[in-house]
Amino acid sequence: MDRIIIENLQVHANHGVFPEENALGQRFVISAVLHVDLRDAGKSDALEDSIDYGAACRLIDVYTRGTTHKLLERLAQGIVEELFAAFPALERVELTIKKPWAPIGLPLDYAGIAVDRARDER
Note the pLDDT tens digit of each residue in 52-78: 999 999 999 999 999 999 999 999 999
Residue 45: strand, helix, or coil: coil
Predicted TM-score of the model (pTM): 0.95
pLDDT of residue 122: 53
Backbone angles phi, psi at 70, to 5 degrees: -75, -45
* pLDDT-derived band at 120, boundaries 50, 70, 90: confident
Beta bridge partners of 12: 27
Residue 99: active-site member: yes
* pLDDT-derived band at 44, boundaries 50, 70, 90: very high
Indicate if the pLDDT at residue 89 is higher than 90.
Answer: yes
Q: How far is CA 23 from CA 9, 13, 26, 115, 119, in A?
A: 22, 10, 9, 26, 34
Distance CA 99, CA 7 (A): 14
- Burial of residue 95, with CB atoms counted within 10 A of its CB: 0-12 exposed, 13-18 middle, 19 or more buried: buried
Which one is catalytic: 43, 70, 98, 99? 99
- 11 close to 30: Cβ distance less than 8 angstroms: yes
Using alpha carbons only, how large is the chain's radius of gyration in Å?
15
Indicate if the pLDDT at residue 42 is higher than 80.
Answer: yes
- Burial of residue 49, with CB atoms counted within 10 A of its CB: 0-12 exposed, 13-18 middle, 19 or more buried: middle
